[in-house]
Amino acid sequence: MTAPGEQEIRSGTLEELAQTVTAEEKAEAIHAVRSAPDVTFTWDYERSREHLSKLYEKAKTSQWNVTTDIDWSIDVDAWAIARDPNNPMNTTMAIDRAGTPFEKLSEDEWYDLGAAGQSWVLSQFMHGEQGALICTAQIVETVPWIDAKYYASTQVMDEARHVEVYARYLTEKLPYYFPINVHLRALLDDVVADSRWDMTYLGMQIMIEGLALAAFGFQYQTTPDPLLKQITRYVMADEARHVAFGVLSLKEAYADLAAAEIRERQEFCYEAAVKMRDRFLQQEVWDWYGLPVKECTRVMLDSPIQAEFRKVLFSKIVPNLKKLGLLDAGANKGQQGWLRQKFGELGVLQFEDWEDTGAEYERMQLEHAPSA
């Protein structure tokens, strides 16, 4: 059921949303994307952006080691966790199975599917972190400010560490991991292929990492797995700095853009938001389990609890776009800004006054190893 002003909006047909990776793509170890951004040197070494310098200094003292700072001795029983009735990470468990492809599954099969769903989520985190690794390396090359280059170089290390920690958790603690979701891959391809440095920031630092930060927060608060909780707390501290970096950098960059350029970025944010909302639906899980992907995708789209869960993932994106001025840019004579109107139709404006990451990141930083 939609709220007043909210509209039923989909980013494609059901067939398009149900698309998954092909057998040939699953077998591929390498995925190449053509990208040719201009590499930018700067001969101005003056440290003129105090807010970025502060982030850089914090990043230098916040490095952690996947090998020594994570307690890998903790046992993980994926099947027991999947059967924990108090584990809200199993978001598929709340789906009404009557009249769906899930109806004929036994209780054990249903819980096994829930375990696979958790593995799928963590797999997408891993793949997304590699996308962030590549995008941040591009930012080092293309951003024109020395303070931003310095900070982005620390984020490259952060992202490599995140890929490493999720890869190790998935290979050592879970029975399998899933290939990249075809829609996540397409979004990463679009961000990497754009030669403009600010679009790399906007796509990765604000949109993809903003959604991931909200998902990490949900995972940290709800997972019954002490090892995953420990990993997530470390990753969240890094990610909060990353999103803050994007907000602080783009706020300066967008102050001088023309109205048409701002509108292009608003449209990009809206299109990315809709795709992230209704295309990450565990399609690879249904395919792996031999279930009809199209019908399962329809169930996920139509589930009220799934719809509300997907909205909450925008709790970091909306306040950050507001701080950047993109939410209300173009407002005139009582007419709402274009992106505000569109986000109202998506039903996510309730998050606009939540804490933005520029204010949040200091509270999320770690001085010592977190307790599980």
Q: Are 219 and 232 in contact (CB under 8 A)?
A: yes
Displacement of CA 370 from its chain's centroid (Å): 22
CA distance 229 to 82: 15
Q: Which tokens sit at 274?
A: 């809709």
Q: DSSP letter at 199?
A: H
CB neighbour burial string for 273-289, b if at least 16 within 10 angstroms, e if fewer: bbbbbbbbbbbbbbbbb
Rg (CA), the chain: 20
CA distance 191 to 37: 12
Q: Are 358 and 323 in contact (CB under 8 A)?
A: yes
Displacement of CA 321 from its chain's centroid (Å): 15
HSE-up of residue 237 (Cα within 13 Å, Cβ side): 20
Q: DSSP for 207-259?
A: IIHHHHHHHHHHHHHH---HHHHHHHHHHHHHHHHHHHHHHHHHHHHGGG--H
Q: Are 243 and 191 in contact (CB under 8 A)?
A: no
Q: Are 332 and 128 in contact (CB under 8 A)?
A: no
Closest CA to 246 of 186, 284, 198: 198
CA distance 288 to 343: 34
- pLDDT tens-place values along the chain, 372 residues long: 455 555 567 778 999 999 999 999 988 999 999 988 899 999 999 999 999 999 999 999 999 999 999 999 999 998 888 888 767 656 566 788 899 999 999 988 988 888 898 899 999 999 999 999 999 999 999 999 999 999 999 999 999 999 999 999 999 999 889 999 999 999 999 999 999 999 999 999 999 998 998 889 888 888 899 999 999 999 999 998 998 899 999 999 999 999 999 999 999 999 999 988 887 899 999 999 999 999 999 999 988 888 888 888 899 999 999 999 999 998 887 789 999 999 999 999 999 998 776 666 666 666 544 544
Other CB atoms within 10 A of residue 306 CB = 18
| pLDDT value of position 332 | 85
Burial of 335 by CB count in 10 Å (0-12 exposed, 13-18 middle, 19+ buried)? Answer: exposed
Displacement of CA 171 from its chain's centroid (Å): 21
pTM, 2 dp: 0.92
Helix (H, G, I), strand (E, B) or coil at 345: helix
The residues that bridge with 335 in the sheet, in sequence order, are 332
The residues that bridge with 332 in the sheet, in sequence order, are 335
The domains found in the chain, sorted by start residue, are 15-22+48-364 (1.10.620.20)
Q: DSSP for 48-76?
A: --HHHHHHHHHHHT----HHHHS-TTS--
CA distance 129 to 162: 6
